[in-house]
Chain A
């Protein structure tokens, strides 16, 4: 079998071993369910509440993706703006760092006051968390073009826009994916944490309710979903990266 198939099976085996040891430990040491639930108990909880978890997951995923999309667009467009108007870089970056450093707990109520109780504040919070890596990385990519290539384009008398479109943008793509690999998991976490500050649905809310009821199987079921979701997102991004940024050696499969 080929390399990736094999490594996939190895990964699966490791996961199974992990769950088996966890199950064995809980049973052997008689760990109470409110300290650490067994994987079997957790999976049963998942299986007996499919609609609830499906609904919650869909909502959180939707918030994450919408926030991610906005964050990526904002970060990307800002990066483009700063490339075209480099004089703004200092000011914009300072603002961006300020925004990034502000703790969620402080902003969330403000956002609720301005934007209401629904999904919109969650999406905004997620966007706030994800835009910074995209801004920094894409800006880097747009600026760090091979000077040999800029010489070449200059000799072709290409206009600024042509240089941007044919040279800078494709150069920035691998940087964008590097940023996405950071931002996508952040988006998921961002949506969950935003839900903790008050939400009517979603995995974050489920986790919060479960914990305050010390109903750990429900909590862990949500954690399983988040972990699986984060992993899937990451792999999806990797696949997409290989397709889009096909020319780079590390994104090519052996």
Chain B
């Protein structure tokens, strides 16, 4: 699914003072691109994600998914959403949680993957009958990933999904995520605060500056995956990213 953002503006009118989360954002994402959205807090990254997912309606401008409204794509079950909290239903076991995602699909969609297949893909076959409260944070997020997979959507909107995990789990899940993404190649918008994570995952990094939210930098990452920090080009890109971020911080402080 490709994404076109034109003059996208979103103002939270109810907050005091009024907050302009996004101001005249313009960019395009090609189908199958993994895009990371990074920037300091309050710069509108999550808002952008919510606008793309039809959880908010923009104040001005538009966002088009394959030329259509997000609402349409949401109704067609082409959008998969994943947030920082695993958002699993605690009264359902692993298998039932994944099955629930497929339950609301329109009748003309027939999922190719069964629930058990999905669980196997993420390595949770043994835990199929387990309830979320018995699973560790990492396993819960993995289950949330499985649920995401089961939707077979062409757009993944992911809002800092690994932020609450410990370093080791995060490492492991990042690798696993890539393994899951690469065969399917959906378009991904990935919000993060972690620059290493952004560099390891994304084809493209959009750096946002806050108040009002604007795109400060648009970096393309051409490195082949899996990416290693030992690679000098990695370090170069890292430096460039840091610089871009640094300027947004100064810009924020200046305001």
Binding site for B on A (CB under 8 A): 146, 148-149, 151-152, 154-158, 162, 166-167, 170, 173, 246-249
Q: How far is the CA of A158 from the CA of B104 in the complex (A)?
A: 6
Number of residues from B at the complex interface, CB < 8 A: 24
Looking at chain A's contact residues, the main secondary structure is: helix
Whether B55 and A154, one on each chain, are in contact in the complex, defined by CB atoms closer than 8 angstroms, is yes
Q: Which of A148, A157, A166, A248 contacts B83 (CB 8 A)?
A: A148
List B contacts of A247 (CB < 8 A): 90-91, 131-133
Q: Does B184 lie at the interface of the complex (its beta carbon under 8 Å from any beta carbon of A)?
A: no
Taking CB atoms and an 8 Å cut-off, the chain B residues in 7-44 that contact chain A are: none
Whether A148 and B133, one on each chain, are in contact in the complex, defined by CB atoms closer than 8 angstroms, is no
Binding site for A on B (CB under 8 A): 53-55, 74-75, 77, 79-81, 83-85, 87, 89-91, 100-101, 104, 131-133, 151, 157
List A contacts of B85 (CB < 8 A): 146, 148
Given contacts A146-B87, A148-B85, A247-B90, contact A156 B133 (CB under 8 A): no
Whether B104 and A152, one on each chain, are in contact in the complex, defined by CB atoms closer than 8 angstroms, is no
Whether A170 and B91, one on each chain, are in contact in the complex, defined by CB atoms closer than 8 angstroms, is yes
Q: How far is the CA of A152 from the CA of B53 in the complex (A)?
A: 10
List B contacts of A170 (CB < 8 A): 89, 91
- Nearest-neighbour CB distance to chain B for A230, whole angstroms, equals 29
Q: How far is the CA of A247 from the CA of B89 in the complex (A)?
A: 10
Whether B79 and A155, one on each chain, are in contact in the complex, defined by CB atoms closer than 8 angstroms, is yes
Q: Which of A152, A157, A166, A167 contacts B75 (CB 8 A)?
A: A157
- Nearest-neighbour CB distance to chain B for A88, whole angstroms, equals 24
Given contacts A149-B89, A151-B83, A170-B89, contact A156 B132 (CB under 8 A): no
Q: How far is the CA of A249 from the CA of B101 in the complex (A)?
A: 25
Whether B77 and A156, one on each chain, are in contact in the complex, defined by CB atoms closer than 8 angstroms, is yes
Among A157, A247, A248, find the residue whose CB has the most chain B CB atoms closer than 10 A. A157
Q: List 17 A-B contacts (CB under 8 A).
A: A146-B87, A148-B85, A148-B87, A152-B81, A154-B54, A155-B54, A155-B55, A155-B81, A156-B77, A156-B104, A156-B151, A170-B89, A170-B91, A173-B91, A247-B90, A247-B91, A248-B90
